[in-house]
Structure 1
Amino acid sequence: MSQETPQGLVVTTALEGVVFVYLEPGPVSEADLNDWYDNEHAPLKLTVPGVKSAIRYKAVDSQTPTWLALYGVDTPEVAKSEPYNALQACASDKEKAILEKVEGLSRRTYVHTATFTHPDTPAESLPCKFLLVVTLEMPTPEQEDDLNKWYDEEHMDLLSKIPGWKQGRRYKLIDFNQLKGLADKPVYKYLAIHEFTEGNFLSTPEFKHATSTEWRERVMKNAGRKARVFELYRKF
């Protein structure tokens, strides 16, 4: 199902999901981490029925966690399926050793609610080089309704005017599991992922306008919010 916003963005609401994984390697070297992830972990995930994509990103905002992996799944239930869980049960010695050493891990499963795509975005241009990840928590159901209405009726259209913005996807949290140094970190209910071709989007007048409207100020007044910026490392 698809429709268009007043600015011409294509809106789709397919019922799919994403497995979102933050990882902070700590004492694990980047070479060892990437060798394991690129040559073993991500390729094995793609053998699971229902896992349709695997993409890794590295932080460029001087914050931690440093690494983000996104696994596109046909439905959120894929992340609880027997083939998916079987990978952990038969983990290699290399995987066990690395996961024993990493500083922190956060694995989250989300259900997709809507994707807004710029009309000048061919499918082959995605994923873009830069990713803005925003997680949000609203204190009341009424404020959640206002958040969703703001995104649908104002925010995505304003973001689409930023040079290099190509797509924004929104998700709602299903479940999560966090270990070690990330065990006590907050996990918010709503997730937005924005694709950009240019890395300077935060400093543009269009971004500043999109994040300073009266409606935005009202929505964010009592919200929990965390924003991160990542650069594409590898698509599998």
Structure 2
Amino acid sequence: MAPGFLLVTSEPGPDVTLDEFQDWYNNEHVPLRLEHLPSFLAGARFRAADALAPTWLAVYDIDDTAAFAHESYTRLRASRSAREAALVGRLALLDRRTYVLRGDSGEGATSSYAAGGGGGGKAPTPVVLTQWTDTAPGDPSAWKEKGASGWVRTRTYECIDSLRSGRSVAPGPEAQRIPRYLVVHELCDLMAAEDPALKATSAQSEESRLWALYRAYPSIAQRNPSVTEA
């Protein structure tokens, strides 16, 4: 079993209102996955904390990468509601990337994104720093020794599939090129991203983004009905 990770960045754009976008994501898109698929262990949405675009990030921990090819998941896109199909067609950006876990610093037995508390009953991670690179990242357990202020957990991933769509995406293969590896640092607050060790790795990445928690969602896997909002 190889744990998986689903990361989606998105931008409503001029043809979708923010209220429409949020209602769809919160009340249709996320619940169809987290409230019905046991393979989706936890999920959360984050908002850009660095004034860059895209503005929105959604992340999901998956128990096994095989779930990405299972009919219970693939049918969600193949049999979209008329509402979802129409809205997705108007988005400026929907950038979907699936990953396999390559390394974990070992903080927590379950995802820190879980609604109502992650590993060890902790609250959902309030801040994440994402870094993309074509160079294989080092052992994430080394972050325990670095002593970065405000650091919680680091996981590394390798991309296994991706698709960028939306009205702002240019045609052609170049628009689909993404870095091979992803590093996700979970942090206790925004100031933690200013730690010299984290800033150094951000400078070495092809792209580095800082995100603040918008909402962690309940999931059937966590059996937790609460929803936490920042």
Q: Deviations over 1:184-225 (max 9, x none)?
A: 15411111111111111233xxx214555xxx79x94xxx62
Partner of 1:189 in structure 2?
180
Q: TM-score, normalised by structure 1?
A: 0.76
Identical aligned residues as a percent:
28
Distance 2:141 2:43 in 1: 31
Establish whether residue 162 from structure 1 lines up as the match of residue 148 from structure 2. Answer: yes
Establish whether residue 229 from structure 1 lines up as the match of residue 220 from structure 2. Answer: no
Q: Measured at CA, do residues 209 and 133 of structure 1 come closer, stay the same or move farther in structure 2, by a change above 3 Å? A: closer
Task: Tell me which of 121, 124, 131 is aligned to 1:124.
Answer: 121
Which residue identity does 2:211 align to in structure 1?
Answer: F
- Return the offset for 1:49: 4.0
- Return the offset for 1:126: 4.9
Contact kept in structure 2, 1:52 and 1:72, CA below 8 Å: yes
Q: Which moved more, 1:79-88 or 1:177-186?
A: 177-186
Distance 2:129 2:148 in 1: 13
- Report the aligned-residue RMSD: 2.5
Secondary structure of the residue aligned to 1:101 is: coil
Secondary structure of the residue aligned to 1:200 is: helix
Establish whether residue 172 from structure 1 lines up as the match of residue 158 from structure 2. Answer: yes
Q: Where in structure 2 are the equivalents of 1:41-56 lying within 5 Å?
A: 41-46=29-34, 47-56=36-45
Partner of 1:85 in structure 2?
74
Partner of 1:3 in structure 2?
none
- Return the offset for 1:24: 1.1
Partner of 1:26 in structure 2?
13
Q: Measured at CA, do residues 43 and 186 of structure 1 come closer, stay the same or move farther in structure 2, by a change above 3 Å? A: same
Establish whether residue 38 from structure 1 lines up as the match of residue 26 from structure 2. Answer: yes
Partner of 2:104 in structure 1?
115
Secondary structure of the residue aligned to 1:227 is: strand
Distance 1:71 1:118 in 2: 17
Q: TM-score, normalised by structure 2?
A: 0.78
Partner of 1:198 in structure 2?
189
Distance 1:129 1:110 in 2: 22
Distance 1:51 1:172 in 2: 18
- Return the offset for 1:156: 5.5
Secondary structure of the residue aligned to 1:163 is: coil
Q: Which consecutive unaligned segments of at least 5 residues does structure 2 have?
A: 113-118, 218-230
User: Over alpha carbons, which structure has the higher Rg?
Assistant: 1
